[in-house]
Amino acid sequence: MINFEGFDDRTFYSTFQKEEDCLEYLSTLKWSDHYKCRKCEHTKYMKGKKLHSRRCQKCKYDESVTAHTLFHKLRFSILTAFEFIFKVSCDKKGLSTLTLSEKLSLSYQSCLNFRRKVQYAMQSSLQHPLKGYVEVDEFAVGGY
């Protein structure tokens, strides 16, 4: 599994060159602990119909690797979605939705909807506090 600490553009683009790379990475994240069927909670599976999906051996429920993730019912390629998340999370000054839609050749509305999903997922749950050496470019203390 890849650790995204210190990921630069070159590393990102060499790691995720095609959709297969994204699906494989997502599969290792989603089922890193173990597989458990969402319908019957059985733990044994076989290969599913689609690439990197898993099928329960007991009830035959086929779960896609993107089901119950940010990428569920995605209307553009998962490779573009990975690039979208990389750009949103790594850009120091922040990218506008309009800029993202132009850079990734997506509609403004698609970018806006996916950006909301990504930002909601990125909200701090206070379960993963920052550790080690943390750099802060600009900040304000006090105010209204």
- Mean pLDDT across 85-111: 89
Q: Are 49 and 56 in contact (CB under 8 A)?
A: no
The ranges assigned to domains in the chain are 19-69, 73-125
pLDDT, tens only, 48-97: 988 889 999 999 999 999 999 999 999 999 999 999 999 888 877 778 99
Structure confidence at residue 72 (pLDDT): 93
Between CA 63 and CA 68 the distance in angstroms is 9
Q: DSSP class of residue 31?
A: T
Residue 4 has pLDDT above 60, yes or no: no
pTM of the model: 0.79
Percent helix, percent strand, percent coil in the chain, to nearest 5: 40, 5, 55
Between CA 10 and CA 141 the distance in angstroms is 35
